[in-house]
Amino acid sequence: MLRPFELCEPASVAEASELLLRHGEAARIYAGGTELILAMKEGLIHYDYLVNVKTVPGLAGVRLDADGSLRIGAATPHRVLERDPSVSERFPAIARMEADVANVRVREVGTLGGNLCFAEPHADPGALLQVFDATVRLERKGGARTIPLERLFVGPFETCLEGDELLTEIVVPPLAPRSAAVYLKFGFLERPSVGVGVAVTLADGHVADARIAVGSVGPVPRRMRDAEARLQDRPVADSEAALAEAGRIAARASDAITDLHGSAEYKEHLVGVLLRRAFQAALAAVAGSERR
């Protein structure tokens, strides 16, 4: 049963930060509640105050910068990202990933910022956004900082946010020309067991840039830079062998454990399979966009 709590509705980020500071560990940001309220209902966690950021003006919405970067307000629901034309046109991989987050009820109320800050290890956005080198803006009353998204995640359900800090914006830089990103996942429970994001940039028949991120497998979603190095600067034509090696490296680095989602070996195997498929799909997407 859900124990009573007070819902605070700040009018600004500064006010929300102040509330967090005042109530300390008794308060938590509410940004859709699709995970938080569930955990509270189950009695796993309790807060006396929920600070609703969904009504803070300016925290929700999507816009494209002059340089092509996508700026996503932290309180933007998944459903908006799934359907926003600028996202599906310029960042189709993000639109597709968002369209497949949980179910439509979750996507309608759950927000991107809420998903990232709850830091449940089995989630999609944290992995894919890392292959775009996304950054996050963290604000508190009287200050702000911008950090790479990968530094936000500290451990399961743990971020580097300070007590009075809020995630306010996610900035996704565009990929270089002749690039494509793909996110693939697999799972048989409600949440993904394995998620792999890949971004590829081609130049003169070579892989000019390869970025790989693995989510859900380890305690936090992570870039797999050693695996990326195997693919970097390779002729596309002989990327197949390197891909198998990159898959093995990423699998080992993914920090898999045996749990209800499957054995560690099974998950490591899936990392390799999804990496290969995602990479090939990304190559095909670059080729497809050039034919158009």
Q: Which spans of this chain sit near other proteins (rule: CB under 8 A)?
A: 28, 39, 42-45, 119, 121-122, 155-158, 219, 257-261
CB of 40 to other proteins, least distance (A): 10
Runs of H (alpha helix) within the chain: 13-23, 36-41, 78-83, 85-90, 92-99, 104-109, 112-118, 125-131, 149-152, 225-231, 239-253, 264-291
Q: Which residues pair with 64 in a beta bridge?
A: 70
Nearer to other proteins, 222 or 261 (CB): 261
Q: In angstroms, what is the minimal distance from the CB of 155 to other proteins?
A: 7
- Say if CB 131 and CB 101 are below 8 A apart: no
Length of the chain: 292
Q: Which is nearer to other proteins, 101 or 119 (CB)?
A: 119
Residue 119 or 282 having the CB closest to other proteins: 119
Beta bridge partners of 71: 63, 171
Residue closer to other proteins by CB (options 16, 119) is 119
CA–CA distance, 285 with 234 (Å, rounded to integer): 18
Closest to other proteins by CB, 258 vs 289, is 258
Task: Classify burial at 3, counting beta carbons within 10 Å of its beta carbon; exposed 0-12, middle 13-18, buried 19 or more.
Answer: exposed
